[in-house]
A and B are shown apart, each in its own frame.
Chain A
Amino acid sequence: MKKITKQSLVTFFLLSPGLLAIGCLFFYPLFIIIKNSLAFEEEHIFYHYIKFLSSSNGLYVIGLTCLLAFGATLLSICLSILLILILRRKPIGHSFFKTLILAPITIPGLICALGLLLFWDKNGWMNLVIQGIINRPIQVNYTIPGLLIFYTWLFFPYTFLITFSQVESLDKSIEEAAEVVGANRMQVLRYILLPLAKPGLLAGSIITFMLCFGAFSVPLICGGDYRPLSVSIYTTSAIYNRWDEGSAMAVIMALIQIFFLISYIRIMKRTR
């Protein structure tokens, strides 16, 4: 067994304010949420969990949340690859364009949500343009495709940024070598670029996925009748004042996210 030295005691003492802060600010609220979610008065301690998971609405909400998160993550990956292929050739104004891509990160979610709602409204700018082509407005607001577009716009910069930095650090001579031996553009992309950019794509996309999974402002404002887990938790806790049920839903949400995070780490390990 390792001996406790004076040095390690001093280190522990110096670290103790930080540990205390983490304990108070993170573990204590977490403990409270878990405690609230347990039904000590009911016949089963996991009553709220069972109630939510066995209800058709509960499964629908989880399904909807997963659909939105997976769909938006997939769209983010596609959009990021497309933009990276364009921007890595450094066209005129690429720096400005890169900065523009970061805009959704810097604007508060609520403002983004209201802006998107106005932009995609039947009298909004997008529909004014589209109506010139197809003569009728398209319904984007309050629909699942609309939510997917909004999520993608809001969260794809995370996938883009991490993947882009990964691609930029690649040695250009590898691509050149592939071209010398006769590979065309698509083959370079398929067999060289994408495999090398995969760790960046995975890392970026998991951040996007997590953010999509927990998105609140956008579905609250723009979701209409489509209300994923975060909005359901808010409604149950803050509107219905059923904090116990809301806490159980929050724990379920956290567990699902942890499950996806562990899966991601395993995939990352295999990739390496």
Chain B
Amino acid sequence: MKLGKILYTLLLYIITFVIFTTFNGCGSKEKELELTFIDTNSGANFQWFIKTKVIPEAEKTLNIKIHYVVSSGPEIIQRIKTWKKGKGDIHILLIKPKDLVDMLSSDIPLETLYPDKVDRIPNITKCLEDYLTSVLGNNLNGRAALFWRSQMNGICNGSLIPNPPSSWKELYERRGEWTGHIGMVRPDAKSSGGRRFVYCFLHAFGIDFSIPFEELKNTPEWDDVWDKFKELYETMHKPLASEPPILFNQFKKEDVWISVYATDYTLWSRDKGMLPETTKAFTLNDGVTAGADAYLVIPSFILEKKRQAAYDFVNFLLSDEIQLQLISTMWQYPGTEIWDKVPEHVWENIPRWEDIKNTRIRITNNEAFNFIREHTMEVIK
């Protein structure tokens, strides 16, 4: 066959493909009760949980079809900004507090769920009002519902450390007991666990992160606390884990006995056999950073029928059944106040909410956090 004929055939294939894909998209009319649920918050564990547990249950209970899509916050915000009334194709979002603040500051219209829709979403009343009215110091005015509260905690192998430290100061003072067995993810890893570890340590030893970083880094306290951290680093297992699965593997091999990391992901991984069965979480009462709490929002520029279905879905996600699954199988603190219904075995694995709620730290000094991310490995060498 001549080259010209081959190219001609190829061109025909391309044209056919383009026509087919174009008209295929236009031809299939979306069914009325199909929702698109975008998740910009979950890690691997919660993506699995939502996809295999929550969505099938919701589809069955609410008789709707839910398309679950994992995406990134900034990308979705850019997309929503371009919507016109009634033309929105994302019906519910699960987002981080920071992305929610970005949405609010971008004036993206969101449905006011509380108190306006209490009749449609009765379960929203189980969320603490504080979480519904403000987020990271910004006015929320009920435009989102709290799905879960994420928290870092101390993590230890209970069989090797039966009496874990109750504070960062105690961890530092007793470091000699665990020389070579204290684990940490590198602060410059994709996971923020390592930098949060350092941030909490600095905070516990008196660093005032409300001071602007340029000023803070020149204070004598800053140098003193870094010296302390270097001493702690001396007793750490090296090299530091490049990513969380490596840290978990170090736990599994009993190279690492103790660390500070996201409670939910660690214990879920333990249940999957990636860490020793005796791994448990404990609280450090001088403060550990909150993880990314998860908020549910409904954009305003969607069709009325979809909006009604979205309310039902939010109500379903805030139901006791789902919220209890969050804490009892995924080790994540629920968004609603259902502590009296939580099975007792949960507290043998993770600290009680009342023990940690007042010690949660928010990362407020981004410059300092960036410094920790980029320079910790140089400083401790």
B217 within 8 A of A: no
List B residues 284-303 near A (Cβ within 8 Å).
none
Partner of B243, one of A10, A221, A225: A221
List B residues 6-28 near A (Cβ within 8 Å).
7-8, 10-11, 14
* Bound Cα distance A84, B283 (Å): 59
Residues of B within 8 A of A121 (CB): 253
Q: Do A14 and B245 touch (CB < 8 A)? A: no
Known: A10-B4, A11-B4, A14-B4. A240 touches B246 (CB 8 A): no
Q: Do B8 and A14 touch (CB < 8 A)? A: yes
Known: A14-B4, A117-B249, A121-B253. A239 touches B188 (CB 8 A): yes
Known: A10-B4, A14-B11, A114-B245. A240 touches B188 (CB 8 A): yes
* Bound Cα distance A221, B14 (Å): 41
* Bound Cα distance A240, B190 (Å): 9
Q: Do B242 and A221 touch (CB < 8 A)? A: yes
Known: A224-B242, A239-B190, A240-B374. 20 other contacts (CB 8 A): A7-B4, A10-B4, A14-B4, A14-B7, A14-B10, A15-B7, A17-B11, A17-B14, A114-B245, A118-B249, A220-B243, A221-B242, A221-B246, A224-B238, A225-B239, A235-B188, A239-B189, A239-B373, A240-B188, A240-B370
Partner of B253, one of A17, A123, A142, A221: A123
* Bound Cα distance A142, B238 (Å): 9
Q: Residue of B at shortest CB range from A21?
A: B14
Q: Residues of A at under 8 Å CB distance from B?
A: 7, 10-11, 14-15, 17, 114, 117-118, 121, 123, 142, 220-221, 223-225, 235, 238-240
Q: Residue of A at shortest CB range from B246?
A: A221
Q: Do B7 and A11 touch (CB < 8 A)? A: yes
Residues of A within 8 A of B374 (CB): 240
Q: Residue of A at shortest CB range from B6?
A: A14
Residues of B within 8 A of A118 (CB): 249
Chain B nearest Cβ from A223, distance in angstroms = 7
Residues of A within 8 A of B7 (CB): 11, 14-15
Chain B nearest Cβ from A239, distance in angstroms = 6
Residues of B within 8 A of A117 (CB): 246, 249
The contact sample of 29 A-B pairs, CB cut-off 8 A, is: A7-B4, A10-B4, A11-B3, A11-B4, A14-B4, A14-B10, A14-B11, A15-B7, A17-B11, A114-B245, A114-B249, A117-B246, A117-B249, A123-B253, A142-B239, A220-B242, A220-B243, A221-B243, A221-B246, A224-B242, A225-B239, A225-B377, A235-B188, A238-B190, A239-B190, A239-B373, A240-B188, A240-B370, A240-B373
Q: Residue of A at shortest CB range from B11?
A: A14
Residues of A within 8 A of B188 (CB): 235, 239-240
- Binary contact track B241-264/A, C-beta < 8 Å → 1, others 0: 011011001000100000000000
Q: Residue of B at shortest CB range from A142?
A: B239
Residues of A within 8 A of B190 (CB): 238-239
Q: Residue of A at shortest CB range from B15?
A: A17
Residues of A within 8 A of B239 (CB): 142, 224-225
Chain A nearest Cβ from B220, distance in angstroms = 28
Residues of A within 8 A of B243 (CB): 220-221
Residues of B within 8 A of A221 (CB): 242-243, 246
* Bound Cα distance A7, B238 (Å): 67
* Bound Cα distance A111, B11 (Å): 39
* Bound Cα distance A14, B374 (Å): 50
List B residues 350-371 near A (Cβ within 8 Å).
370
Q: Residue of A at shortest CB range from B189?
A: A239
* Bound Cα distance A238, B243 (Å): 14
Q: State the 4 A-B residue pairs at the shortest beta-carbon distance, nearest first.
A: A224-B239, A14-B7, A142-B239, A225-B239
Chain B nearest Cβ from A231, distance in angstroms = 9
* Bound Cα distance A235, B242 (Å): 11
- Binary contact track B321-340/A, C-beta < 8 Å → 1, others 0: 00000000000000000000
* Bound Cα distance A113, B122 (Å): 49
